[in-house]
Structures are given as structure tokens and as C-alpha cells.
Amino acid sequence: MTPLSRRGLLTAGAGAGAALAVGPLAFPAAASGSRGPFGRFGSPAARLTDRTLYVHPGGLGDHTTVQAAVTAASGPGGTLVIAPGTYRETVAVSVARTGMTWIGASENPRDVVVVYDNASGTPRPGGGTYGTSGSATTTVQADGFTARWITFANDFLRAEHPGIKDTQAVALKVQGDRSAFLHCRFLGHQDTLYADSRSLGSVARQYFAHCHVEGDVDFVFGRARAVFEHCHFRTLLRTDLASAPHGFVFAPSTAGAQPYGFLASRCRVTSEAPDGYYKLARPWVPSSDTTAWPSLVVRDSVLGPGIDAVAPYANMRDAHPWQAQRFAEYRNTGPGAEITVPANRPQLTAAEARTVTRATYLGDWSPRR
């Protein structure tokens, strides 16, 4: 089996491409500059606050791994300033670590990378496999989590593990309410970004702004109430498949009782694959919640030619057709947004669109404050 794709190392929100790596991800670390490895965010000798911890892979901070710093930051409101480097580890932010903030010290998400390579079918040391949730490089369960200028990645490659059939490989699973990701990158293939909640009945409001997300199959999925603004979704080339579709951008699994699911506003979708090889979305109705009613609105966004304009939606299971879900678009442009078969592209009215906003989805939480 040949490698599935190349991964573009792109700055979140920027139009210019950077170096491309074939196969496993290569993560360059920028020079720290005259201000030291922690930039303008202090140092262990001059802390921003007494709740600020510094992470440096070479030992110039309080901790050399992100997980060690998370564990040390007991109680609410801790801040991690993370120096440039590749942190090959899995990280878990438990429910108790509320109000935590991670800052990429260089203010460039390409420089600070948290990465691992577990997949759903990867064998666990103690027996069994990890499963989709267990494959996550980073898992955030706590409320009030904020990350700035961080790359979350899972560099599992199907071609390197032909014996593994369950190839879901999550870069980030986030379950907390009031979770914000600003100028971050999420890199993977299948199931890259798992925007979820801690339980079926809980509300998890999540906000992603000026982020870059890439993958192939269902690479933005889950039941969170998630708003994506000014984000770039990049679909990857799959050389193991001879024909379309190569995958799906969104796979929401919104609980039936929840009024809102995913909202992508003023975003763009580009592709490495041939024109029309990707679907915009398909609904995920998991076996654990057969009453799910997936919700997705994509509005005021630019959809490149990689999206199948004739049939942009598909079924995951025929028992739950996409037409029965809450899928809609509004004022999208680009070749992938062309309305050639109106029945295949449900559109909001102007009146409906006025209620489909960041403020409506996030309620009394303002992540920009």
C-alpha cells in the first residue's frame, strides 16, 4: 500500500503554503529569538502569574512534557507557556483542570506541536485496542479550556500499519463547555478533530477561530455545539482509493434535544484531491444514541472545487438519510458551492440566517473577551 497523502504544514488562517512532508509529519521548530524560548510570556525566573508554568523540551522550563505540566497545575485557572518543539506524547486534561490556558510561546502554531500516532485499532499494551476516543493525542474534558498557537496532531498513517483496520486516529478530543481554540492547527487523516461533550445531556460550547483543520474521513465530527469562524478545512489526497469519494469534512452527531450543532461561518474548504472527490458532510447517528439529530450550517464560506457540488452530502447509514437531518447552507461561494441540484443543497432563508450566528450558538459566553 502506498502512502495515503502528503500533509501541508500550513500556518492557520494564512493563505500561503509552507513545506510539504510526504509520509510522517515533519515539524520544524522556529528559532526562539532574542526574547528567549518563551517569547513575550515571561520565564520561570519572571512568571506572568504564580499559576503560570513553563514547558521546554530541553529543560529550560518547569517541565519537559506537556502532561507533566498539566498534572502539576492543580486547581483551576492554570496557564502553560509552551516553548517551540515537538512534544511526542498523549495528554489528558481532566475535568478538575478547569479554566486552563495553553499558549504557544512563539505565537506561531507550526512551532509548538503535540503529536502521537495511536489509532482506534492500535493494540493497547495491556490488551485490546484504543478505540476512537482512546486514540486521541490530546483529550480535554475540563470546562473553560483555551489554546492559542498550538498544533494538535495525530500522525498515524494507514500505509505504515496495513494490519490495522480501524484507522480512526484523533488529534484532539474536546468535551468541555466554553472551550476556545485560536490560531491552532489540527492535523490528521480520519477523525482528526472530535468536538464532543462529556455526556449526552450536557452542553459543550466550543469556539474555533482562525484555525486550520485537515484530514480525509469525517475529520470534524461529534455532538458539541461548535462554532468555526475564519477556519481553513483542507481535504487530503488518498492514493489508496481509485475513485471518489475520498472522504467527508463534517460528521456531526448532535443530540436530538440540542437546538444547535456545528456552525461554520466565513470559512474556506480547499483540497489536495481531484475536483469533486469530497463530500461536505454526512450525518453520524451513533449506536450509543440512535435519537441523534445531526445539525450543520455552513454559511458565508468559500467551498473549493474539491467539494462535490452536485451531491455534497451523503449517508453514513441508509437508516439515517442526510435529508432527514438539520443540514443547511447560506450564501456560500466557490465551485463547490454551486447549486446545480437544488434538492441536494438545502438553503436557509434570510430570516432563518439572522438567527444562525455565533451569539445564538454560544449564548451568554463570549470567547473573544
**The C-alpha cell that represents 25 in the structure block:** 509529519
Radius of gyration of the chain from its Cα atoms, rounded to whole angstroms: 20
Question: What burial letters (b/e) apply to 279-300, b meaning 16+ CB within 10 Å?
Answer: bbbbbbbeeeeeebbbbbbbbe
Residue 310, CA atoms < 13 Å, CB-side half-sphere: 4
- The length of the chain is 369
Task: Tell me how far apart the 2 most distant CA atoms of the chain are, in Å.
Answer: 63
Q: Which residues, 6 or more positions from 161, have their beta carbon under 8 angstroms from its beta carbon?
A: 119, 121, 122, 167
Catalytic residue among 155, 191, 216, 308: 191
Instruction: List phi, psi (to 5°) of 85.
Output: 160, 170
**The C-alpha cell that represents 281 in the structure block:** 458532510
> How far does Cα 78 stand from its chain's mean position?
23
CA distance 110 to 237: 21
> How far does Cα 145 stand from its chain's mean position?
14
Q: What DSSP string runs through 194-226?
A: EE--SSTT---EEEEES-EEEESSS-EEESSEE
143 is catalytic: no
191 is catalytic: yes
Task: Look at residues 131, 279, 150 and name the one whose alpha carbon lies nearest to residue 217.
Answer: 279
DSSP state of 280: E
Catalytic residue among 143, 216, 218, 308: 218
Helix (H) or strand (E) holding 181: strand 179-182
Q: Cite the active site residues.
A: 191, 218
